[in-house]
Chain A
Amino acid sequence: MKKLLILGAGTAGTMVANRLNRMLNMNEWQMTLVDQDPLHHYQAGYLFIPFGTYSRNDVIQPKAKYIPSRARLIQSKIESIEPDHNRVHLTNGDVLDYDYLIIATGTDIHPEETPGLGEHEWGRTIHNFYTLDGAVALADKLRNWQGGRLVVNVVDNPIKCPVAPLEFLMLADSYFRKRGMRERVELVYVTPLSGAFTKPVASKLLGDLLERKHIIVEPDFYIERADPDAKKIVSYDEREVEYDLLVTVPLNKGADVIGNAGLGDELNYVKVNPYTFLSTQYANVFALGDAANLPTSKAGSVAHYSVDLFSENFLRYIEGKELEENFDGHANCFIESGDGKALLLDFNYKVEPLPGCFPVPLLGPFSLLRESYMNHLGKLGFRWMYWNILMRGLKLPLPATMSLACKRTDLLRPQAEMSA
């Protein structure tokens, strides 16, 4: 029996387990998953919790329900990874050896990395929506809030779902308007980027959208510390932004065990070949989803397209064939813009998000980089697809690599080539 060990049973880990369970001869393979949390979180749903659209129970399911019956799920924290010995130690005392290891431990927030953030005002005037508990606490806060200056601050990039802070602000605009208190609320987006977004075309279009919604953008702000008593955040170049309510997106980092094993970059993301997900150091270690240091978005869509290509590649690889360098960094993100509308982005390593349309069989084209009701339905309908199609390891009828069909490529500008 060959042993496949998957660390993390979240979006990427669960998807790849189900997919490989269908593709591998399971009489020859022993598949084990390890995760510390018995609950699977639909993380894309966190965004809707602060505004009362979703509640806690709308975004959680037992993990065991989504694990293939022939695989074993161990609930434990990971103590250490020993890639030189093909071995993983768990905190429950188990020692697991493997022929192939897939690391899918994701990314997590680290407020303690920024002085003043995760201290006595955490959960009072400083909130977050990147954890389920955080999103639920923020819902309570917003329900009783009397208004003032609401600042959303991104500490550093990369972050999980890089459009989420923009969506949060646009949903907040709509939420406070509906409650008849928008004029008592100032919405400010404080970001280390030079604009609303990194890529030029989307940054311009999203920047215009924020302006129309009277959301102020404070760019190039790299936070050094928060002053929770004076209610302000201070940048490395001594600029200050005051707030009444701070919604922070703290530093995102991969799991410590990755760093301790020497597999990670400076943020503990596994160093991989961006086209194959294979570790740059070990020939039997892969990383999928947010845990990998791919230079594209940390997003469920990336994990999904990755799993499509990885699974077929993995079958070739175990037969002794070369991996095909075929992943192009394909990502798409729905961006909720409030009032029942949403935008859609579609991009990869080389092509930035462009306006146009995104063809989807049966459902018809979604519009790219433009607000529409259809996109909003797409985003809401996605929760069903997530649990019933993606987490079951079934395939969506979408190509894993990006297509230029229907895109406004005339807006493209030259970009420097990326190398592996």
Chain B
Amino acid sequence: MPTRTYAGKTVEVNEEGFMLNPADWTKEIAVEIAKEEGIETLTDAHWKVIEYCRQVGVSSGKAPTLRTITTGAGVPTKELFTLFPKGPAKKVARIAGLGKPEGCV
């Protein structure tokens, strides 16, 4: 199983770079994954979304979908795309140390 080292900690990831064990996650890891995703600085607005996703992800065992985030965290879709360009749900999930959100086969 592939591993990567973030902020001095080695974590298991899948082939797309999503962490396999959400419990291994730390805020320092989030900062480094965000950089890989092209987000240099995580602002309060970013953290609000990340923390919401952590909360949902840890309690339900799966990463929230875009619609869950917009409804649940009260962040408009447009703003999510500004904060996490391209695929916000997928990007936040990776930064938050959760699996890939289910697009439903």
Contact = CB atoms under 8 A, between A and B. Distances in A.
Contacts, number: 77
B105 A236 contact: no
Interface of B: 1, 12, 14-16, 18, 20, 60-62, 65-68, 71-72, 77-78, 80-81, 85-87, 90, 98-99, 102-105
A414 B14 contact: yes
Contacts of A159: 104
Interface of A: 156-159, 162, 192-194, 197-200, 202, 220, 222, 224, 236-237, 265-267, 295-298, 331, 345, 347, 352-353, 413-420
Interface centre among B1, B14, B16, B104 (most CB of A within 10 A): B104
B48 to A, nearest CB: 18
Contacts of B14: 413-416
Q: Is the interface of A mostly helix, strand, loop or mixed?
A: loop
A418 B20 contact: no
B105 A222 contact: no
A190 to B, nearest CB: 14
A297 B104 contact: yes
Given A295-B62, A418-B62, A198 B102 contact: yes
A295 B80 CA distance: 24
A220 B86 contact: yes
A416 B87 contact: no
Contact of B105 (A156, A194, A265, A297): A297
Interface centre among B60, B62, B78, B86 (most CB of A within 10 A): B86
A220 B87 contact: yes
A295 B102 contact: yes
Given A157-B104, A295-B102, A414 B1 contact: yes
A156 B14 CA distance: 25
Nearest to A237: B81
Q: Give the 8 A-B CB pairs with smallest separation, nearest first.
A: A419-B61, A416-B99, A158-B104, A198-B103, A236-B81, A157-B103, A237-B81, A266-B71
Contacts of A193: 103
Contacts of B105: 162, 197-199, 202, 296-297, 331, 345, 347, 352-353
Contact of A222 (B18, B60, B81, B104): B81
Given A416-B99, A419-B61, A224 B104 contact: no
